[in-house]
Amino acid sequence: MEMTEAKRLALKERRFECQNCGICCSHKGLIQPSENNIHELAKYLKISEWSFAIRYLQEIYDPQLDAYILAFKTNNPHDPKNGCIFHFGSFCAIYNSCRTDLCKVFPWNHFDIKKEEWSPGFVYDNGTFWCQGIGKGREWSIDEIRQLKEKYTNIGFGFKRQI
């Protein structure tokens, strides 16, 4: 299938500013916190890690890995794989605290530094993004994106899964 010119141009876009729309948090998959994320979030919420795990985490089967993973429960009772439990409308209850590594690196987890472009599924054929903040705000340099992705190596292209 041939790529549209609009999509080809959009793949090189590096401007981003969060629009607080909440789309990234509401339906785009599971959030898998690291051990450090769990520790920091439990501390922020002033509860034990055990209580945090019972209230906010779920063990769910990932067919791609053929294994069970630990992920946030969702705010969608009909779909245990979509929507962050800390997301309400366009509000994130932990935004100004110790968000997960994925939240800190988003949307750059969808950006392949080697190709200097977005993953194709992140961009629609008409050149728009499912993330409304792409194409707005300041332009990020490749070095800034690289530094952010190197800081959170367990997220995005070439990730190193935590075991």
| pLDDT tens, position by position, 38-86 | 999 999 999 999 999 999 999 988 887 788 888 898 877 777 777 888 9
Residue 156 belongs to some domain of the structure = no
Coil/strand/helix, residue 34: coil
How many Å apart are CA 136 and CA 98, to the nearest integer? 25
Q: What was the pLDDT predicted at 48? A: 97
Structural domain boundaries enclosing 79 = 5-151
**Per-residue pLDDT for 159 more than 60?**
no
How confident is the model over 124-157, as pLDDT tens digits? 888 888 888 999 999 999 999 999 988 887 665 4
Q: What was the pLDDT predicted at 160? A: 45
Residue 10 belongs to some domain of the structure = yes
Residue 55 belongs to some domain of the structure = yes
DSSP 131: S
Two tokens, residue 77: 């009772």
Residue 35 belongs to some domain of the structure = yes
Q: What was the pLDDT predicted at 156? A: 54
The structure tokens 């929507």 sit at 83
pTM for the whole structure: 0.77
Residue 51 belongs to some domain of the structure = yes
Q: What was the pLDDT predicted at 76? A: 75
Which H or E element spans position 51? Answer: helix 49-56
How confident is the model over 17-33, as pLDDT tens digits? 988 888 888 766 678 88
Instruction: Work out the end-to-end distance of the chain between its first and last CA atoms, rounded to an integer number of angstroms.
Output: 37
Residue 158 belongs to some domain of the structure = no
Residue 159 belongs to some domain of the structure = no
Residue 157 belongs to some domain of the structure = no
How many Å apart are CA 48 and CA 52, to the nearest integer? 6
The domain tally of the chain equals 1
